[in-house]
Amino acid sequence: MSITTAAPTLTTGTWSVDPAHSKVGFAVRHMGIATIRGEFTKFEGTLEVGADLSESRAGGTVEVASVFTNEPQRDEHLRSPDFFDAEQYPSISFASTSIQAVDAKSFDVTGKLTIHGVTNEIVLRAVIQGTEVDPWENVRVGLEVTGELARSDYGMGFNMPLSSGAAFVSDKVKLAIDISAIRQS
């Protein structure tokens, strides 16, 4: 199997994330036996696509208080100082520092992710799901973005001991971001 390294095909210009058709999600193991999935319901993002991929930039912010796991008590705990401390750190932000093609439909986005007042470098994999013109003649692109981080790298080390030795909440968090972005210019 050969892998091409042609730059992903995406029209140059500014693209805005459409929150009504996008999702910023995460998954974490709970007690070593289940996966808890959640999302942030309030966020924004942009993608600036240059003539050359190296000139492109991506970024966005998430409102921490909008965390939603379908369990109000857990959501309140996630907003507390044990985890995100939403009162002191109301947003999560990402700003790319480089974007490199992997093949014709995917690229690695390296950038600075700030959570809980701590900034670290992270590499996210973005896969173009396609482009389409919607019924209102907006040009849209669909992107699936994945990545992984360690909570402890962001000062969120809360845990409780279990008799089995498993972590109550895994340090590893998987990111799953589905984006529908509209070309602005």
- Tens of pLDDT, residues 106-119: 999 999 999 999 99
Whether 64 maps to a domain, the answer reads yes
Judge whether residue 18 has pLDDT over 50: yes
Return the minimum-mean-pLDDT range out of 56-60, 140-144, 167-171: 167-171
In a domain, 3, yes or no: no
Question: What's the pLDDT tens digit per position in 165-176?
Answer: 777 888 999 999
CATH of the domain at 108: 2.40.128.110
Confidence of residue 9 (pLDDT cuts 50, 70, 90): low
- With b for 16 or more beta-carbon neighbours within 10 A and e for fewer, the 79-88 pattern comes to beeebbbbee
DSSP 8-state code for residue 161: B
User: Is residue 7 assigned to a domain?
Assistant: no
The reply to whether 2 falls in a domain is: no
pTM of the full structure: 0.90
Whether the per-residue pLDDT at 2 is higher than 80: the answer is no
- Residue 20 CB neighbours (<10 A): 6
- Output DSSP code: residue 167: B
In a domain, 177, yes or no: yes
Structurally, the chain folds into a number of domains equal to 1
Does the pLDDT of residue 44 top 70, yes or no? yes
Is residue 167, in this structure, part of any structural domain at all?
A: yes
Range of the domain at 160: 13-183
